[in-house]
Structure 1
Amino acid sequence: MKRTRARAALAATLVVAGGLTACSTASSTTDGTVTISIVEFQKSRIDSIKKVLPGFEAEMKKQGKDIKVTLVADVLTDDQFKTKLTQQLIAGEAPDVIDMGDSLVPGFAGAGYLTPLDDYLNEWDGWDHYFPQFKEAMVRQDGHIYALVHDTQVQNLFYRKDILTELGVDTSQPDTWEDLIARLVTLKEKTGGTPIVVPAGSAWGGSTWTEGFLPILGGTDTDFYSLETGKWDLESDGWAAVFDLYGELYAKDLLPVQDLENPNPWEPTKYVKFPAGEIQVAAQGTSGWKFDWGTNGAAPIPELETKVDTWQYPALQSGDKPFGWSGLGSSFAIPEKSQHKDEAMLLAQYLSSGEPLAEQLVTSGAASPRDDLADVKPYADEPKLLQAGEDLATSVYVPTGDGSEQIAQAVASATELIISGEADGAQAYAAFVEDATDLLGPNLVK
């Protein structure tokens, strides 16, 4: 990775190439200048934040505030970032604004490392523009908000509209899984292949839960986890229904089982067979338009927006309506030990609004958690992101908490039993309950 320092002559923003080993640079000078820091660990986010920080400093100058920002930038894996950030938070040396995935927030907040943001948000006019489900989802078990979400994904079923049309298969929104499975069977008969990929099994890791099982479960059953008690209800109705669905997809030979047992199952499925049209339906989030199949993605599909479209998840139980599943993406948090929390929050709010936010969303291929970005460029020029933003108004999201990693492990193991032919849906569900109960322990199970 190439690391550079932004020149002071171009912007009063210093990029610390040494990354997370640097301590917080928050400081004040005798002339009233306040210097704060923000950390980014993904290349695309580093580039977009670097681009908009000078605008923040200029805007603060207009308001009579002399605030300089140091960008702590290094490209790290998720695990490396979590490890180093944990060390810094413990030592009280973390940057003043931390851009982190939402999955990290509960642990750091529960340990007392993050500042509650409730008062700041209640006084901020931008807060009124957040979709209600995200405002609710940001609230943690103690009733406080510790991180401001600034991007999100809508999980849908992407499908090869060109292939289905060519084969004479209905491309309208399927209302039920029965309807969709009938189309998948037709596709199998016409192509001889396995037409749908939904993350399943152990090789896909935690994504079997977050990108495969959870979106289907959440649209069917919202009582599987209680934010109030912090407990998981393993007898809630939706679990068995989703395992039965996986079992049916396997029994009808609709899943690419050999590929799912590949060490990197997303490569032969999403990066080879879906672009080639050999798999016609794939569970995927909004970022697929950019990072998977876009022009600069992992496996570009020429004329992508003509050839590919999305369905919402069809209903799994009688009476349900098709839905999109939305997940919290990245969030801005402020360490409890930051010396300049007010200035840090001003930066977080600026980056979560208007053109600065639009710039970041387009770079990361994400949807806006706000309802007021449809006319803001460059976001306004991205029709698929705009459509995802519209879907957010009616999307489903169920907050979870402690035990998510254990649930993910148990779901991966149980779906592995299905795709290996060792269990049907009911047997896999029974194995899941036993495994999850053991992994979670009595304090986290209803």
Structure 2
Amino acid sequence: MRPVLAAVAGAVLVLAACGTGSESSDGSVTLIITSNAISGGKNAETADWTTRWVIPEFEKEQKAKGRQVHVLFQPSGVDDEQYKTKIALDLKSHAGADVIDVDGIWVGEFAQAGYIKPLSEVAGPEVDSWEGWSQIPKAVQGLGIFEDKKYGLPQGTDGRVLYFNKDLFKKAGLPADWQPKSWQEILDAGNALKAAGVPVPIQLNAGTAMGEATTMQGALPLLAGAGAQIWADGKWTGGSQALKDVLGFYHQIYTTGLGDPKLQQEAQGRDKSFAQFAEGKIGILAEGDYFWRAVVEPKAGVAPMQNRDAAVGYALIPSERPGSGIRGQDFVSMSGGAVRVLNPNSKNPKLAWELLSFMHSAKATTSQLAGAARITSRTDVNDEVLGVDPMLKFVSDEVLPITAYRPPLAVYPEVSVALQEATAAVVSGKTVDEAAAAYQQKVESLVGGAANVTS
């Protein structure tokens, strides 16, 4: 792969020589946008929106200001890690596009390497006075923040909730407007469902077969509910009391018949859990809003539920106890998403910022939706477009203000696997203390020793 990537980087350098905010002899300026998107292929909607709406609209806006600006789109349609390597090579070589799409979990790694810089350092004080900041909840801004500095503008995001089957809840004598206020209340509901004969009262992703879904849908929201984050203040969470509380919750679910431990070990276990929920065999399931809009969606879902709107309820994920969550919260969530950053090597950084902020304006954000109901980073756009979907409106209004994000550091994926292994251990019968100790040891080996881990 390295020779291929080197060749790609070389091609980028050639393109960058006539772009990257450079000014031509006729006084015109050329800017370049890049993302891992290509018309007719990967993330085609983003590619088409960029070429058909962003570029002509921005060029027209600049012409009205008396400026001759040309914008080029540099597409990609490769594996995410290959795209990441390509971008890193560009930035390391002081080349590449002016506006760059990156995954939010790359921000810290790129910042530590010096590949990207805070937006205000690149483009100046006008960044801080941008109107969009007031429309993006501070928790959502966190997707592009590293060590309290804003490196990027968040694109669309998501949120995790608890889904429940209202028909099964009715059978178990539970309320249709269920909103647990503690982990114990989740267990209580699970026991009521079990007594009513529900095959799988609670589905909480666990183990390595579920991959990152275990971490994002289960372990990290629970950790936040126990008052901790996987990485904070320069240290990684090890086998701490918060981590033991999380593993203890898993232990209670999977050793008392409230969850199906075998499902967590199957290669297609997550897909199978989707089907079982749609079939009325799972009472409570922790998932992201993707589950609502793409899995049980009545017409085109992976596991469509014709009666979704009437039968599927959703609730906030409670902290372990009221007030015990991060930031003293009663409820918690986790989110993911992409951001756009500025190339610190742009020859016209202020104009590049105009392009970036234009791409995140209300007008541009609405146009990118193309009539679809999806959660964006902007509250004003969400208020306008999500009224037709109360669940997505719920996520926008109630979940995003309290959400948190994965640490944007290179070692995170390996720490995530260690966390998945810890959940698998308790699901398979090991004690919480055994699993926590093994996790502590693994994390220390990954992040440079005990000094970098809380215990």
What TM-score does the superposition give when structure 1 sets the normalisation length? 0.84
Q: From the superposition, tell whether residues 204 and 374 of structure 1 become closer, same or farther in structure 2 (CA, over 3 Å).
A: closer
What secondary structure, in the 3-state scheme, does the structure 2 residue paired with 1:372 have? Answer: helix
Whether contact under 8 Å (2:107, 2:144) holds in the other structure is no
Superposition pairs for residues 263-282 of structure 1, below 5 Å?
Answer: 263-270=267-274, 272-282=275-285
Whether contact under 8 Å (1:113, 1:337) holds in the other structure is no
1:74 aligns with 2:110: no
Measure how far apart 1:337 and its partner are. Answer: 2.1
**Aligned partners of 2:304 and 2:70: how far apart in 1?**
39
Q: Which residue of the partner structure matches residue 310 of structure 2?
A: 306
Whether contact under 8 Å (1:44, 1:363) holds in the other structure is no
Whether contact under 8 Å (2:374, 2:386) holds in the other structure is no
From 198, 202, 215, the counterpart of 2:221? 215
Q: Which residue of the partner structure matches residue 290 of structure 1?
A: 293
**Aligned partners of 1:210 and 1:405: how far apart in 2?**
12
From 69, 84, 94, the counterpart of 2:86? 84
Superposed CA deviations along residues 123-162 of structure 1, whole A, max 9, x for unmatched, are 3122233222344564323x53211112221211122234
What secondary structure, in the 3-state scheme, does the structure 1 residue paired with 2:164 have? Answer: strand
From 136, 156, 178, the counterpart of 2:161? 156
Q: Which residue of the partner structure matches residue 6 of structure 1?
A: none
Superposition pairs for residues 178-327 of structure 1, below 5 Å?
Answer: 178-222=184-228, 225-227=231-233, 230-234=234-238, 236-270=240-274, 272-294=275-297, 295-317=299-321, 319-320=323-324, 322-327=330-335
Worse overlay, 165-174 or 199-208: 165-174
Whether contact under 8 Å (1:324, 1:392) holds in the other structure is yes
What secondary structure, in the 3-state scheme, does the structure 2 residue paired with 1:350 have? Answer: helix
Superposed CA deviations along residues 176-210 of structure 1, whole A, max 9, x for unmatched, are 22222122122233345123222211112233222
**Aligned partners of 1:363 and 1:74: how far apart in 2?**
25
Superposed CA deviations along residues 299-340 of structure 1, whole A, max 9, x for unmatched, are 333243333231111231365464141424211112222333
1:129 aligns with 2:120: no
**Aligned partners of 1:283 and 1:328: how far apart in 2?**
15
1:384 aligns with 2:391: yes
Worse overlay, 62-71 or 209-218: 62-71
What secondary structure, in the 3-state scheme, does the structure 2 residue paired with 1:273 have? Answer: helix
Q: From the superposition, tell whether residues 123 and 58 of structure 1 become closer, same or farther in structure 2 (CA, over 3 Å).
A: same
Q: Which residue of the partner structure matches residue 40 of structure 2?
A: none
Q: Which residue of the partner structure matches residue 357 of structure 2?
A: 349
**Aligned partners of 2:365 and 2:85: how far apart in 1?**
27
From 433, 437, 448, the counterpart of 1:441? 448
What TM-score does the superposition give when structure 2 sets the normalisation length? 0.83
Structure 1 unaligned blocks of 5 or more = 1-17
Measure how far apart 1:350 and its partner are. Answer: 1.5
1:165 aligns with 2:160: no
What secondary structure, in the 3-state scheme, does the structure 2 residue paired with 1:169 have? Answer: coil
* Structure 2 counterpart of 1:206, one-letter code: E
From 108, 112, 125, the counterpart of 2:114? 112
Whether contact under 8 Å (1:224, 1:236) holds in the other structure is no
Q: From the superposition, tell whether residues 76 and 293 of structure 1 become closer, same or farther in structure 2 (CA, over 3 Å).
A: farther
CA RMSD of aligned residues (A): 2.9
Superposed CA deviations along residues 327-381 of structure 1, whole A, max 9, x for unmatched, are 24211112222333222222221221213213445788653333322443x4554
- State, as a whole percentage, how many aligned pairs show the same letter: 24
**Aligned partners of 2:453 and 2:387: how far apart in 1?**
45
Whether contact under 8 Å (1:188, 1:254) holds in the other structure is yes
Q: Which residue of the partner structure matches residue 432 of structure 1?
A: 439
1:358 aligns with 2:366: yes
What secondary structure, in the 3-state scheme, does the structure 2 residue paired with 1:280 have? Answer: strand
* Structure 2 counterpart of 1:28, one-letter code: E
Worse overlay, 125-134 or 208-217: 125-134
Q: Which residue of the partner structure matches residue 100 of structure 1?
A: 102
Measure how far apart 1:394 and its partner are. Answer: 4.2
Q: Which residue of the partner structure matches residue 3 of structure 2?
A: none
**Aligned partners of 1:223 and 1:415: how far apart in 2?**
16
Superposition pairs for residues 56-67 of structure 1, below 5 Å?
Answer: 56-67=58-69
**Aligned partners of 2:371 and 2:303: how far apart in 1?**
17
What secondary structure, in the 3-state scheme, does the structure 2 residue paired with 1:287 have? Answer: helix
Q: From the superposition, tell whether residues 366 and 98 of structure 1 become closer, same or farther in structure 2 (CA, over 3 Å).
A: farther
Q: Which residue of the partner structure matches residue 11 of structure 1?
A: none
Q: From the superposition, tell whether residues 123 and 64 of structure 1 become closer, same or farther in structure 2 (CA, over 3 Å).
A: farther
Measure how far apart 1:279 and its partner are. Answer: 1.9
Whether contact under 8 Å (2:143, 2:339) holds in the other structure is no
Whether contact under 8 Å (1:150, 1:352) holds in the other structure is yes
* Structure 1 counterpart of 2:47, one-letter code: I
* Structure 2 counterpart of 1:188, one-letter code: K
* Structure 2 counterpart of 1:32, one-letter code: G
**Aligned partners of 2:152 and 2:405: how far apart in 1?**
17
Measure how far apart 1:401 and its partner are. Answer: 4.9
Superposed CA deviations along residues 27-81 of structure 1, whole A, max 9, x for unmatched, are 4334433222222323343344445313333333333333332222333332232
Q: Which residue of the partner structure matches residue 44 of structure 2?
A: 43
**Aligned partners of 2:78 and 2:304: how far apart in 1?**
25
Whether contact under 8 Å (1:225, 1:232) holds in the other structure is yes
What secondary structure, in the 3-state scheme, does the structure 1 residue paired with 2:377 have? Answer: coil
